[in-house]
Amino acid sequence: DGFLSRLPVSVKSYLAWIVMLYAAIVPMLSIGFMRGLGLIKNLGLHSQRSRLLPLLVGVISYVLCAVTLSDVAVATLVRKLVLAAACCEALALIVTPLWKISLHLICMGGVTAMFMLLSVAGAGQHFWALVVTILLSGALASARLHLGAHNPWQVAAGYFGGLTVAILAMIYL
């Protein structure tokens, strides 16, 4: 029910394909390519060191997506969301060499920020999406803790770091 819903299908399709290309296809192909070259050992990216190159590719890919969208006047909101994702990934890239922060929870913090700001800005009815995102964030945090992948500080830092960075990026970029 937001302004994006009023756009022609062709514009929405273009925006969806551009975001999917840069946010999913390019990073997945890059990780497969890096694995094939032996730059990363497995697709799980369990070690901090193995995460660095894929995170850098992700930041670059999101920035390229934002640049591509800068020519589309109606894509300002989408561009802001993509730049927020780039900033969250940059946070992960900066912190990862020093500490094993939860990449999953950085992402969920960013998604929570998106629904929070869309709700506050009146860009559609996103209350239930926000509630579901918060609940899913808690479930994901619990799973990461249960699996022993992270400690509570790494999970909390990921979530609140992603939330904060995404809010600041969407407001100021």
Per residue in 55-84, pLDDT (tens digit) is 999 999 999 999 999 888 778 888 999 999
Q: What whole-number distance in Å separates Cα of residue 84 and Cα of residue 71? A: 18
pTM to 2 decimal places: 0.86
Which three-class secondary structure state does DSSP give residue 78? helix
Give the burial class of 164: count Cβ atoms within 10 A of its Cβ; 0-12 exposed, 13-18 middle, 19 or more buried: middle
Which three-class secondary structure state does DSSP give residue 96? coil
pLDDT digits (tens, 9 = 90+) for 105-159: 999 999 999 999 988 877 667 889 999 999 999 999 999 999 998 999 999 999 9
The pLDDT > 90 percentage for the chain reads: 64
What's the Cα-to-Cα distance from 69 to each of 14, 64, 74, 107, rounded to whole Å? Answer: 10, 9, 9, 21
pLDDT class of 92 with cuts at 50, 70, 90: very high
* Average pLDDT of the residues of the chain: 90
**2-19: average pLDDT:** 84
